[in-house]
Chains A and B, each alone.
Chain A
Amino acid sequence: SQQGEEDPQALSIQEGENATMNCSYKTSINNLQWYRQNSGRGLVHLILIRSNEREKHSGRLRVTLDTSKKSSSLLITASRAADTASYFCATESSGNTPLVFGKGTRLSVIA
């Protein structure tokens, strides 16, 4: 079953603009993670935010988590053409339970 649902399904922006992707989930979580997938490749872990955290930064990435609304957002600032990829959120419900992934957002950054 898929826990996370990303929104929008697809996003197209100009280089230099910010990209925001949202993720909603249904059950309580230990942490929420964001991954990136270039076309035809494996997923790469970007950032993890724990249930007791509200915001986290990593380079040009900013992730927020609102456990009361069961939602998270991923912001990529000053996007580059190389950011073009699919982005997935994944939730871990409890220790040692497998991650459950959403369907992803396809981001296109136009140079």
Chain B
Amino acid sequence: SQTIHQWPATLVQPVGSPLSLECTVEGTSNPNLYWYRQAAGRGLQLLFYSVGIGQISSEVPQNLSASRPQDRQFILSSKKLLLSDSGFYLCAWVTGTGGYGYTFGSGTRLTVV
């Protein structure tokens, strides 16, 4: 079966510290992968997406970066966190070339203090 794992579930990090969030997908190959961020009580903002290994598209210029070292692994990173990086980070995947619903991970609640 197809599953998506996202961790950690919660994270409290000081300003200026690094960040690494990981997302892995099982049961499918060559998925499109996405990182979204959701501010409290708001909609989802697309941060990065990838249609293949090593390919990353950035939607919002900021101090975050993403990498896809393996087909089913998507990593969100930062060298130095800002207060404004706090939020709920969601990873999602879809297979095919459009016209399908996304499957989301359970999310990571990041609080930068």
Residues of A at the B interface (CB closer than 8 Å) are 2, 30-31, 33, 35, 40-45, 48, 50, 88, 92, 94-104
Task: Kindly state the separation between the CA atoms of A38 and B105 in the bound complex, as whole angstroms.
Answer: 13
Q: A50 to chain B: which residues have CB within 8 Å? A: 99
Q: B97 to chain A: which residues have CB within 8 Å? A: 95-96
- Give A72 Cβ to nearest chain B Cβ, in Å: 15
Task: Kindly state the separation between the CA atoms of A8 and B39 in the bound complex, as whole angstroms.
Answer: 19
Question: Given A98-B34, A101-B43, are A92 and B98 neighbors across the interface (CB < 8 Å)?
Answer: yes
| Tally of contact residues, B, Cβ under 8 A | 27
- Give A31 Cβ to nearest chain B Cβ, in Å: 6
CB <8 Å contact, B107 and A40: yes
Task: Kindly state the separation between the CA atoms of A36 and B45 in the bound complex, as whole angstroms.
Answer: 16
CB <8 Å contact, A88 and B90: no
Question: What are 7 residue pairs bridging A and B, where the CB atoms are less than 8 Å apart in the complex?
Answer: A30-B99, A31-B99, A35-B101, A40-B107, A43-B102, A94-B98, A95-B98
Q: A30 to chain B: which residues have CB within 8 Å? A: 98-99
Task: Kindly state the separation between the CA atoms of A30 and B94 in the bound complex, as whole angstroms.
Answer: 16
Residue of B nearest to A2 (CB): B43
CB <8 Å contact, A103 and B42: yes
Q: Say whether chain B's binding surface is mostly helix, strand, loop, or mixed.
A: strand
Return the 9 tightest CB-CB contacts between A and B, nearest first. A45-B101, A95-B98, A42-B104, A103-B43, A101-B44, A43-B104, A42-B106, A101-B43, A95-B97
CB <8 Å contact, B99 and A40: no
Q: B81 to chain A: which residues have CB within 8 Å? A: none
| Partner of B101 from A48, A97, A102 at Cβ < 8 Å | A48
Question: Given A88-B43, A96-B32, are A42 and B105 neighbors across the interface (CB < 8 Å)?
Answer: yes
Residue of A nearest to B10 (CB): A40
Name which of B43, B45, B90 has the most chain A CB atoms within 10 A of its CB.
Answer: B43
